[in-house]
Homo-oligomer: A and B are copies of this chain.
């Protein structure tokens, strides 16, 4: 993994990789009950009748797990992951109970601020499951301090 501390240490094309995490059926149902209580995320039988053809994680659950994995990948070293927003958020295939998920990130663009000692980095993150299928991708608009 690249050794990065400041915005200035990042280069286009630099890549990061997170550890792997497993998502359980209990996790899926608990998150859904609180934030996305729809049949495809709550109940096996009801989920079969939906577009998902079986129980699948809420996309927002996938997004929250991805945030945790991105933190663990430490793309900006000791600096926090702070975003003004996200571009290109896409859910490509359903995340299922017992999927093992990891993230790969790649630096797509770097824009130093003209007025502040910081810069905007766009890192495109892609989440893969245990079969190396792409399940989710997102590109946060991250703010990172410059070395001063």
Contacts and interface: CB of A to CB of B under 8 A. Distances in A.
A34 B59 CA distance: 16
Nearest to A136: B85
A104 interface: no
A60 B59 contact: no
Identical subunits present: 2
Main secondary structure, interface of A, reads: mixed
A33 B36 CA distance: 19
Contact of A36 (B35, B71, B84, B89): B71
A83 B61 CA distance: 13
Contacts of A34: 64, 68
B80 A50 contact: yes
Contact of A91 (B50, B84, B88, B91): B84
Interface string A38-69: 11100000000011000000111101110110
Given A35-B65, A58-B67, A91 B81 contact: no
Nearest to A39: B80
Among all A-B residue pairs, the 6 with the closest Cβ atoms: A85-B90, A35-B64, A86-B89, A60-B64, A38-B80, A35-B68
Interface of A: 31, 34-40, 50-51, 58-61, 63-65, 67-68, 71, 80-91, 143
Given A36-B68, A83-B91, 6 more contacts: A34-B64, A38-B80, A58-B67, A60-B63, A60-B64, A64-B64
